[in-house]
Amino acid sequence: MTAWIDPHDSRSSWGRDPEESLPDRIQPTVERAHEVSLPFQYREQRSFDGTLSDVEVEGVEYTSGEYVVNAGVTGDRTLKLHVRGLLWRADDPGQARRFKLQLVRDGPPTETVPYGEYKIWQRYQFGHVTVDPIDGPSFEPNDDSKRTDRTVSPFGGLQKPLRLHISELELVRNPAFAKYRLTERDEWEEYGAVFRWRADAFESRIT
């Protein structure tokens, strides 16, 4: 007959190595952001095949995309984000957009309040995209469709994927103040706490 195990017995009696340790506790967002050294930079490549959401530009809701993000905070706390790539509709490849976008926010003392306004430069073209299952998307531009814009946008006016990248940078630049501002805006869960569950957040990375 199998013996009962007393719950007060040692861990080894329960079939567990007494030297086995529990996984490290996941640090909260602000703690991880505080540990980042400047300058900070990362690069990511993202692809979406009909799964892109919350990206609507000039009345067109794009559902697919492939783009590269280069983002960082310089030693003087200037925030920089550069994105280049393609956006298109899975059900209408003739509505494609190739773009380059650069977003900048000056460091203190000029821009001291997180989640304010951001200077944006972008160049884009419209055209047709063809997606090869092996080589990926290729773009054929329409004639005379190249445009260049310089604008200023508040945080809330940016596309959601951009807001997530910007929020990581704002938290690196000034962790405590960034958390205060997101809490004040009732956006901490969406643009702050969410990074606790991203293992690569606040790390210099190339993907």
Helix 175-184 vs helix 160-173: crossing angle, to nearest 10: 140
Q: Could you report the per-residue pLDDT of 60-76, keeping only the tens digit for each? A: 899 999 999 999 999 99
Q: Where are the domains of the chain?
A: 27-197
User: Which stretches of 37-116 are assigned E, i.e. beta strand?
Assistant: 40-48, 56-57, 60-61, 64-73, 79-89, 92-105
Residue 48, SS3?
strand
Q: What is the pTM of this model?
A: 0.83
Q: Could you report the per-residue pLDDT of 139-155, keeping only the tens digit for each? A: 999 988 899 999 999 99
Decide: 143 and 153 in contact? Cβ < 8 Å: no
Decide: 103 and 97 in contact? Cβ < 8 Å: no
